[in-house]
Amino acid sequence: MNYAVETFDLNRSFKLKKAKNKKENNNTPGKLIALDNASIKIHQGELFGLLGPNGAGKTTLIKILSTLLLPSSGTALVDGVDVVKQPDQVRKRINMVSGGEHCGYGILNVRETLWMFSQFYGIPTQVAQARIDVLLKILKMEEFAKTKIGKLSTGLRQKLNFMRGFVCGPKIMFLDEPTLGLDVQIARDVRAYIRTWMKENPERTVLLTTHYMAEADELCDRVAIIDKGKVMVCDTPGNLKKTLAGEAVFRIEVPLAANGMETFGQISGVKQFAYEHKSHLGRTELKFILHDESAISNVTEFLSNNSSKIVSLSKMEPSLEDVFVALVGRGLKDENGSQN
């Protein structure tokens, strides 16, 4: 079996600038470890998801694989080719789309942009034009074919950037949060296209990063969960969720709470605990992963002892998100609250 992507103990660190805020007295310029001995193997033909919160190192990995960034140490092979030693050979095989991006050569129109990039990849004009027609159709952009990029809305530009990646006919595609910030319908079109593209040719491979658990669950053959630069686990979404089969997942909503959260994890029978403040709803959502369903009584008892009202309580099917919580002991979203 050929691997589309293989990394061995990949490390990447960034020098940290001195803290801007003098009060923090953090004057030792340190190192930030963005990738920490990351080893993954992606099979040819796989739709592989890289899942992790903001700052986990997903973009860093994509940048290394797409030859934009050198690793600090370790090896990365794309289609068997070393990204450090033979970047030119890697570039012929890949493309990359980074979501949430809406720039471009404003003076060109949609078709001109797509054609131009296909030319940089040596795609014969007829093949390129046919491909552009299909892309315009599937992504519902036909009416904008002749519209200048400068006049497109940000969502449409992001869609164009997505098409740009595919028009170049890569064998291996890196998609960095392809649906970031897209409205629901466009995101659906994008996901549908990814699936169609994969089905067309069994040799194609996609590495997709996301912090939307549902997206990874829905799309990916296998996912790796990554946190603080470390690859925690790597398996099919189904198998990952099965690791929680013995456990029970409960969601409890309480009125917006500020303190005392730390103690919740110590309630007996609780395996992992995470929370998310939903200040716009005036609530805090607590998530408990219990070793056993019966432990829920300990939790409710603890809450009432702390005179915390319970707004709602529900038992849930384990999701990928719960797998993440069980692994790292916090939710995907409670990193800094800036998630969208």
Partner 1 sequence: MFENTKDTIRTIRTAGKLGWAMESNWTDPFLFAIYSVVRPIASSLILVVMYYVITRGKTSLDLFAFIYVGNAFFMYVVNVLFGISWVIHDDREHYQMIRYIYIAPMKMYYYLFGRGIAKMVLTTLAVIITIAFGMLALKIPINLMTINYPLLIFSVLVGIFIITCLGILLAGISMVTAHHSYALTEGIAGLFYLACGAIYPIDILPVWLQYISKLLPLTYWLELVRRAILGKSISTTLGGYSDFQLILIMLGTTLVLAMFSNYIYRSIEHIARKHGKIDQLTNY
Ligand X SMILES: Nc1ncnc2c1ncn2[C@@H]1O[C@H](COP(=O)(O)OP(=O)(O)O)[C@@H](O)[C@H]1O
Cα–Cα dist 177/98, whole Å: 6
- Residue 209 CB, shortest distance to Mg ion, in Å, is 6
Cα–Cα dist 208/59, whole Å: 10
Q: Can residue 58 be called a binding residue for ligand X (CB under 6 A)?
A: yes
Dihedral (Cα; 211, 215, 216, 218), 10-degree rounding: 170
Q: Can residue 249 be called a binding residue for ligand X (CB under 6 A)?
A: no
Q: Can residue 99 be called a binding residue for partner 1 (CB under 8 A)?
A: no
**DSSP element (H, E) containing 191:** helix 184-200
Query: Toward partner 1, which CB reaches closer, 83 or 136?
Result: 83
Distances (CA, A) of 228 to 18, 97, 231, 300: 21, 23, 9, 33
Which residues have C-beta within 8 Å of that of residue 71, sequence separation ≥ 6? 10, 11, 12, 35, 64, 83, 84
Q: Can residue 178 be called a binding residue for ligand X (CB under 6 A)?
A: no
- Residue 122 CB, shortest distance to Mg ion, in Å, is 30
Query: Toward Mg ion, which CB reaches closer, 59 or 205?
Result: 59
Q: Which two tokens stand for residue 46?
A: 């796989």
Cα–Cα dist 216/106, whole Å: 33
Cα–Cα dist 109/131, whole Å: 16
- Residue 59 CB, shortest distance to ligand X, in Å, is 3
Q: Considering CB distances under 5 to 8 angstroms, the limit depending on partner class, which of partner 1, Mg ion, ligand X, none binds residue 129?
A: none
Q: Considering CB distances under 5 to 8 angstroms, the limit depending on partner class, which of ligand X, partner 1, Mg ion, none binds residue 56?
A: ligand X
Q: Can residue 103 be called a binding residue for partner 1 (CB under 8 A)?
A: yes
- The radius of gyration of the chain's CA atoms, rounded to the nearest angstrom, is 23
Query: Toward ligand X, which CB reaches closer, 260 or 337?
Result: 337
Which single residue is written with the structure tokens 């990874």?
A: 216
Under DSSP, is residue 327 helix (H, G, I), strand (E, B) or coil? Answer: helix
Which residues have C-beta within 8 Å of that of residue 94, sequence separation ≥ 6? 65, 66, 67, 78, 79, 170, 171, 172, 173, 174
Q: Considering CB distances under 5 to 8 angstroms, the limit depending on partner class, which of ligand X, partner 1, Mg ion, none binds residue 120?
A: partner 1
Q: Can residue 10 be called a binding residue for ligand X (CB under 6 A)?
A: no
DSSP 148: B
Q: Can residue 70 be called a binding residue for ligand X (CB under 6 A)?
A: no
> Between residue 32 and residue 91, which ones bind partner 1 under the rule CB under 8 A?
63, 66-70, 88, 91
Q: Can residue 210 be called a binding residue for partner 1 (CB under 8 A)?
A: no
- Residue 30 CB, shortest distance to partner 1, in Å, is 16
Query: Toward partner 1, which CB reaches closer, 63 or 222?
Result: 63
Q: Which two tokens stand for residue 10?
A: 């990949």
Q: Can residue 55 be called a binding residue for ligand X (CB under 6 A)?
A: yes
Query: Toward partner 1, which CB reaches closer, 8 or 121?
Result: 121
Q: Considering CB distances under 5 to 8 angstroms, the limit depending on partner class, which of partner 1, Mg ion, ligand X, none binds residue 88?
A: partner 1
Q: Which two tokens stand for residue 47?
A: 């739709």
- Residue 281 CB, shortest distance to partner 1, in Å, is 35
* Beta-sheet pairing, 31-38 with 270-278: unpaired
Which residues have C-beta within 8 Å of that of residue 47, sequence separation ≥ 6? 194, 195, 198, 205, 206, 208, 219, 220, 221
> Between residue 129 and residue 188, which ones bind partner 1 under the rule CB under 8 A?
164, 168
- Residue 67 CB, shortest distance to partner 1, in Å, is 6
Site residues (vs ligand X, CB under 6 A): 14, 32, 34, 52, 54-60
Binding stretches for partner 1 (CB under 8 A): 14, 63, 66-70, 88, 91-92, 94-96, 98, 101, 103-108, 112, 116-117, 119-122, 164, 168
